[in-house]
Amino acid sequence: MHQLAVFGNPIGHSRSPEIHQLFAKQHGLEIDYEPIFVPPGEFVRYAEQFLEGGAKGFNITVPYKNDAYHFAEQCSNAAVLAEAVNTISVRKGVIYGDNTDGAGLMKDISANLGWTIKDKKVLVLGAGGAVSGVVSNLLAGAPSTVEILNRTLSKAVAIVEKHNDPRVRAIEVPNDAFDVIINGTSVALQGASLDLPTSIITPKSCCYDMSYGNKAFLSWCADSGVSQLADGLGMLVEQAALAFNIWFDVQVETADVIAALRQ
């Protein structure tokens, strides 16, 4: 029995245990994957105790991805760029941190949705850990530009400065229409109440919400005539698949898992 978990606060809503059990079933693996509520300031203590019990690793969701980054003894390039870790594994006694969010997003966009960001103008809403974890992967998809719009400009600027890439920039006021709009904010978008100008969107835009519980952003997009819409459920499954591969070195099928969660 392999012991795994997801750490977060809140955590009761997490679908990660269900997802990983479906992955384990594909390969005949027995896992005990539990959601663990971590009180503020207690991440390190909880993480140490969990690993000392012989756990194979664990996932991390909000608000502890930066805590996990500092907890890990070694980190992947993706985690370093994001300064955020969503997957902890133990390799030859070393606590290793990775971030599979960006790769999971791109897998969902390209393989599941059939969208492309190559030569496209991309707008990302937000500048928190969710956005920080995906910008490098977006840039790897060869867009013409990636513009980051956030209420606090300095946070967007900090992400831009990490990448030193002329295609990515922080903006205060969007002036153009975008081919792809990705919502990475931590709070629900309430349509026009966020003062998003309708000029940023056209019926041909592709709109993606990295969350999967709130429909306000996608409803706003639909009201603007957009037909290519997607929430983050596919991203959730794809990033989990990459984490599962880190732990067990096996490939999993994601399409049936996404379909099962939709139902």
* Residues taking part in catalysis: 65
Strand pairing category for 87-91 and 121-125:
unpaired
Contact indicator for 142, 117 with CB cutoff of 8 Å: yes
CA–CA gap between residue 54 and residue 211 (Å, rounded): 32
Q: Which residue type sits at 171?
A: I
- 12-17 long-range contacts (CB < 8 A, ≥24 apart) are 12/37, 13/213, 14/61, 15/236, 15/261, 16/59, 16/61, 16/236, 16/240
